[in-house]
Structure 1
């Protein structure tokens, strides 16, 4: 395996720990990515590559969509 994509950064941190336990060096032997841009991701060694999941913006867009549906408008998911 060359890379691991984790569903969130906490899982990625666990993957880092397990790789270390097995003698696998993250960044050299395997690439690991996370998803949600956890605050501690940048403190990991090497710093975790992660995707920002902005929960506030996602919730805002969901509420706009609900309001539009209540008005009887068609909402196209983004």
Structure 2
């Protein structure tokens, strides 16, 4: 089973749960890295933790990605993460 180390910083409970869930689902290291990157990008867009997001926040994020000419596959992956 692939393992992944994201940062040397302490891992918050949300990230720890996400890592555990991805491991349980058997996701590879590259997929895990992509998912973490998408969540980090979403959190930066929100300016707050991603677990506080609403459906409208997700929609605004998708619209922002579209405005920035992000490809459909990336938009879908980011929102489904």
Same fold judged by TM-score > 0.5? no
TM-score by length of 2: 0.27
Structure with the larger strand share? 1
Rg (Cα) greater in structure? 1
TM-score (norm 1): 0.28
More helix by share: 2
